[in-house]
Structure 1
Amino acid sequence: MQTFLVTGGLGFIGANFILKARKQKLANIINIDKLTYAANPLTLAELQDDSGYNFVRGDIGDIDLVIKILEQYQPDAIINFAAESHVDRSILSPIDFIQTNVVGTFQLLEASIAYWQNLSSLKRASFRFLHISTDEVYGSLSPTDPAFREDTPYAPNSPYAASKAGSDHLVRAYYHTYGLPTVTTNCSNNYGPCQFPEKLIPLMILNALNGKPLPIYGDGQNVRDWLYVEDHCDAIYLVLQQSSIGETYNVGGNNEQDNLTVVKKICEILDELVPQPGLSRSELVTFVKDRPGHDRRYAIDCSKIKRDLGWEPKESFESGLLKTIQWYLNNPNWVEQVQSGNYQNWIAKNYGDRK
């Protein structure tokens, strides 16, 4: 069985990938995560007695620690999920994003190439460094623009997007300059179980359940492509096993939705599953001041990964959204643990002055 070093494996997408890898016995997992605000150890609690899973608390920017982990566990691949990922937080504190997404990725690449160069010829040939990135590096689209392709020029508009663009460029450079066998995926907006509730869908689910306002930026017409996280994890594993080195793949859900429509669908499902007499949850929708530089539309053309590797998403937006809502309804302990005082303070800071 292969061994993967997963960075940021207590974050949303990384944790879902680890659960898939262990449940399906795809690989043994070494998880390095520095346990920031968005990490919840409950997400992977079911793996505490799994001998094929090992957790190391640490930062990808700590090159000595990463080298030590690589030498100890001898992984067959590194999957880099570790990132600061919330646009609103990047506007309030961009330095954290530069430090983790740019400097951290650089240090991880340095450790990886030192490890890779000392492998046997057979292991060197099969080793992969898979970098998980975002469609936000491509900038914003008008309603009539074609969807992002892998050759779409980068045009990031937020500190978050710029930091991810920087990390993408570093990964590309380490392949072309040093020969490190890298692959990059750029995904659209993920949603699903275990997502930290500062992001749109879990925030709206939990606010609607608690009768709180549902804050929507601007006119609510910003459009995103929505990718169910389990579909994304399937794509990641397929790319890791079958992609040629140096490739980039866009991964999308083929589900463009504007924010207001997303929130209204959440309200409709909750009104059906958990009715509250006398209240239609769509009445809680509150339009708030837009965030600076808010990209109008993202859309992903994922025809390349379908053509090359045979991947396409399985979930429709409706089926994925229903599964997501049911997960949050069924896991109140997880929700309670992540909604700490720090989280509540951030919500107040981000939304409190937008009315």
Structure 2
Amino acid sequence: MSDSLHLSVLDLIPVRTNQSSADAVAGALALAQLADRLGYERYWFAEHHNMASVASTTPPVLIAAVAATTERIRVGSGGVMLPNHSPLVVAEQFAALEAIAPGRIDLGIGRAPGSDPVITQLLRLSGTTSDVDRFPDNIADILSLLSTDGATLRLTSGREYDIRATPAAAAVPTLWLLGSSDYSAKLAASLGLPYVFANHFSGDGIEAALHHYRTGYQPSEAHPEPRTFLTVNASVAPTKEEAYDRALPQLRTMARLRLGRPMHALETVDEALAAEPDAMSDEVIAAMAGRWIIGDAAQAIDAVRRLSSQYGVDEVMISPIAGARTAEPAGAGRTQTLELLAGAL
């Protein structure tokens, strides 16, 4: 892969009909190794909880597995949903990951819980979490804890107490803020941090968010210039018709989510094509499909370039949502998407 445009991968680890979590995770590790060989810039895992078709619940564990089985690709979270976690634990996890794969770790952080209210409450009952209202302070705390100098806590007695995420850090992960609103864009700008717009699930407001980020950017020592990219769902195949068929299982899953209907494992392409028509779902699907990249290799890479040019980014992160037919390996569509995009670039 050689071009001024860089491609990366966002993985939610889809779980399809009759597939185990072990199968899905094994497929994700194989896909990450393929992305490494094809020259993709980075490979990130999302954090979602209690979803029948999503196995990416614990990014740090998955990042460690991928870092141990790849050579050059950056690996990270897209992202850690900070309200679910203690800032100190997040800092310790990613300091350890940086020690496992020096210079290759990204810590992407989001402000949303990544789950429904019941799971959010259960996470809070299960262990130490952070207050969403203190999100800016928690980001600053993580930056301090990860730094080679660590952080200093002043106790009520007046004594200073030193805290470090790891005893002797030689380097630190790159911290990115993720979001789909002005809030995260403005916060990233004020802290001098890189920013990612989550276009794969919310295409609204991207122009305003990037405008706020770039115009309000306060240079930091680590990041003297603003740095941003966006995500997008993609299904790429030899023909546009096949690409749409392979996108249909994920389109139907997202339609169920948005319509508040029961969720289940991701359908195969054959199951999705055989489903009865549903006017409400079809309307939602049509709207989403218009925002996703669905086409052959030439059409897809052209769409990626248009996104890059329109929003002034030199990197686009692909969420490979292409499904597989019943007789195929579960990752067939995702593998094909990455291979065709890399070959067209």
User: Shared fold (TM-score greater than 0.5)?
Assistant: no
State the TM bucket, normalised to the shorter chain: 0.3 to 0.5
